[in-house]
Structure 1
Amino acid sequence: MTTNTDTQLPPTVRDFMAAHTARDADAASAFLADDAVVVDQAETFRGRAEVHAFLRDAGSEFRYTTEQTGTARVDDDHWTVTVHLEGTFPGGTADLDYRFALRGDRIAELVIAGHVG
C-alpha cells in the first residue's frame, strides 16, 4: 500500500469525495455502479436507490466539518481515503477510512469504518 496525495486519486474517488463532503447526494450518487454496496457502522446499503438515501440522510442531524487527512492506493481498483470529522455528533471527533473498490469508472463498494493506523 502506498500513500498518495489527493491529486493522485482516481477521478471517480476524488469527485465522489468532493460531492460527499459538500453533502450533495445527487452528485455523489452519479459515481456509483447500479449494484453498488455501501457499509457504514455495520449497516449495509445495496443498490443505487438505497445508497443514495444513505448519502442524503447520513449525519444530517449533526453539524460537522470534514478534513481529508490521507489517501492510500492498495491497487488500481482499491483506494482508502482517511477523513477527520469534528462536530455535534456523540464524541465530537472521529477519524474514518473510506475504503473504495472500483469497477471501471464506478464505485462498486464503499466501506466506511473507524481509521486503523
Structure 2
Amino acid sequence: MIKLPGPIAVYFDPTNSSADKALAFDENALVGDENRKHHGRSEIQKWMIEGKQKYRFTAEPIEIVETPDQVLVKAKVSGNFPNSPVELDYRFELVNDKIATLSIR
C-alpha cells in the first residue's frame, strides 16, 4: 500500500464523502480537470459530486513521487467512461497541510 501525505490520503479514500474530501483543500484551492478550472472549496466539492455522478469512478493510487514543490500520484481510474480503466497523473501542491492546487491529466 502506498503511503500518501495526509490531505492526499483523504482525497483518495473511497469511504470519505465529497464534503470530507473538500475539507482537505485550502479555502482558495484550484483544481484543473478536463480543461476546466474549479476555484475554492464549494466549487471543488460541486466538481467532485458531479464527476462521481457522471462517471461512477474509483481512483486507486499506484505510484507516488514527491518533490519539494509537489506530489505526483499516478492512479488507476476505473468507471463509466471510454477506455476505462486508465492511468491518470494527479499533481498536488500542498500548503499548510492542505491541497492548494490539483491538476489531473
TM-score scaled to structure 2, two decimals? 0.87
Q: Which amino acid aligns with 1:55?
A: M
Render the CA deviation track for 1:17-51: whole Å, top value 9, x for unaligned: 21xx3462111001111100000011100111111
**Structure 1 unaligned blocks of 5 or more:** none
Q: Which amino acid aligns with 1:15?
A: V
Name the SS of the counterpart of 1:90 in structure 2. coil
Q: Which amino acid aligns with 2:89?
A: D
Q: Which amino acid aligns with 1:86?
A: S
**Structure 2 unaligned blocks of 5 or more:** none
Determine the C-alpha separation between the residues in 2 that align with 1:10 and 1:62.
Answer: 26
Pairing 1:26–2:19 present: yes
Q: What residue number does 1:91 align with?
A: 83
Q: What residue number does 2:28 align with?
A: 35
Q: How does 1:1-117 map to 2 (within 5 A)?
A: 6-7=2-3, 9-18=4-13, 21-22=14-15, 24-75=17-68, 77-113=69-105
Distance 1:35 1:65, change over 3 A: closer
Higher strand share goes to which structure? Answer: 1
Determine the C-alpha separation between the residues in 2 that align with 1:55 and 1:62.
Answer: 11
Larger Rg computed on CA atoms: 1
Determine the C-alpha separation between the residues in 1 that align with 2:56 and 2:8.
Answer: 24
Alignment root-mean-square deviation, CA: 1.8
TM-score scaled to structure 1, two decimals? 0.79
Q: Which amino acid aligns with 1:97?
A: D
Q: Is the 8 A contact 2:71 2:93 kept in 1?
A: yes
